[in-house]
Amino acid sequence: MVLSLINPGVQDSDQINNEGFDEVFCMCGIIGIVGTENVNQDLYDGLTVLQHRGQDAAGIVTCDKQRLYLRKDNGLVRDVFRTRHMRGLQGNMGIGHVRYPTAGCFSSAEAQPFYVNSPFGISLAHNGNLTNAAELKRDLFRADRRHINTDSDSEVLLNVFAHELQHEGKLTLDANDIFEAVAAVHRRCKGAYAVVAMITGYGIVGFRDPHGIRPVVFGKRETPRGDEYVIASESVAVDSLGFDLMRDIAPGEAVFIDVNGGFSTQQCAKKPEASPCIFEHVYFARPDSIIDGISVYKARLRMGEALAKKILRVYPQHDIDVVIPIPDTSRTSALQLSYQLGTVYREGFIKNRYIGRTFIMPGQKQRKKSVRQKLNAIDLEFKGKNVLLVDDSIVRGTTSKQIIQMAREAGANKVYFASAAPPVRFPNVYGIDMPSVNELVGHGRDDKQIAEAIGADWLVYQDLDDLVEASRHGNPEVENFDTSVFDGEYVTGDVTQDYLDFIEGKRSDGARENTDDDDNAVIELHNTA
């Protein structure tokens, strides 16, 4: 267990503002389990399945009666949890978290779950981003008298929930108290959040923001000892652990499982409106997951089909010899695209699976170096051919440019490029750590200019209407998606230019490279080795 103090300076009200709050934007994975025996192994296994959602840090906290056991640190799940740690994580309920590396997010103090002792002892893991975190932090200090110990909006959310759960003179909790607290969270918190929170001795609650931007599902497993429940970011974690998927937590809804396996749900938002993040289907989620009743795999097949139809419209006399995906996420779309075009599909790149995703790596030099370490071309699939490379999206363009150059060096005659998503032109504010808007290759450029910037002979992007249709086809009841990175329309309605300017300053390469470790000095008390 690690307890950390970061910047324990004076909490003067004039200092608590955007400039004084180093906001953290992370794509994460969450899981919570209430079982009939120790859940440490299931939590570990679930986090490994969700590892694609976060490779920077991992954490698990378990509860055995009134006792909590915590282990969290930077690193992959397999590196953070050793046998000695697993033995110490006792209890029949617990929550876990994996996190992606982001600007200002390098200390293990930012690893989740977070814990606050009042009231009752609450642990929380969060996927998403609060767009009013700075305002909430100010209010927590001024009105609620709560101290925020890190720069994470997840700790802010935890303290809001804890404050709303605290009733004067009430020494016990029931499900209605918890649902009322979640309703208050919805009233106070803006942005995206999928949450699992464990209340010591009582149970686990999962809830989702009123727009349902970030995904979260729950499942059930019947055992001879009683019913067990799991809450997780993606259905693949539910399936892999042998639970039966029940459904998604609805936007604004809360699910509570008590320590004995009692189960209850309630809608806690006044006007929930489903607008899930479409980028989950494009890139982040595993293809074997089902999100909001939509198969990610089938959505990507439909993306490939729609993209092929556009290519045939724009370039009816194309001379493509071979379709090659950029591994891994684009494989599904590329396979269907090649089938629709009637063109050969080949694997032309071999991926080193021990290198992280590049568009969120801090610093352009590190990013450029990592692309060459990440992929290697199979020359015989390129030599003398007109190649169509297919990727799920183009964010910064750095990776695309280098991959196109690799294809040319491998002997390709012409290199065309297709993106299963539209141009990324706007920042994400709901939990995906994307670059500064000025570093997005799609910002301020048309398709031809982007093709020139990345070195492609021609470039075809997916149309936004086709992307939305490819995703919602799996569940027509989902009428809207958050597509803000493509069209700049933010579904929560509270994103101002001042806020965008604020995150712009946090996300630029210069800001990432100039981060001074002394500004985030950490005092760590190691209770266990």
Residues designated catalytic: 28
- CA quadruple 434, 435, 438, 440: dihedral sign: negative
User: What is residue 284's DSSP assignment?
Assistant: I
Q: Output the CA angle 315-321-326, nearest 5 degrees.
A: 90
Long-range contacts of 399-402 (CB under 8 A, 24+ apart): 399/326, 399/358, 399/359, 399/367, 399/371, 400/441, 400/454, 400/456, 401/453, 401/454, 401/455, 402/368, 402/371, 402/372
Q: List the beta bridge partners of residue 251.
A: none
CA 272/CA 277 separation, integer angstroms: 15
CA 458/CA 388 separation, integer angstroms: 9
Buried-exposed string 240-251: b where 16+ CB fall within 10 A, e elsewhere: bbebebbebbbb
- Token duo for residue 62: 């378990």
CA atoms within 13 A on the CB side of 448: 0
Say which residues have a Cβ less than 8 Å from residue 328's Cβ, sequence separation at least 6: 351
Q: Are 470 and 411 in contact (CB under 8 A)?
A: no
CA 226/CA 173 separation, integer angstroms: 23
Q: How many CB atoms lie within 10 A of CB 182?
A: 27
Say which residues have a Cβ less than 8 Å from residue 523's Cβ, sequence separation at least 6: 4, 5
Left (φ > 0), alpha (ψ -120 to 50) or beta: where does 510 sit? alpha
Buried-exposed string 366-396: b where 16+ CB fall within 10 A, e elsewhere: ebeebbeebbebeeebbeebbbbbbbbbbbb
CA atoms within 13 A on the CB side of 445: 24
Q: Are 50 and 233 in contact (CB under 8 A)?
A: yes
- Prior bond of 328 cis (ω within 30°): yes
Q: How many CB atoms lie within 10 A of CB 220?
A: 16
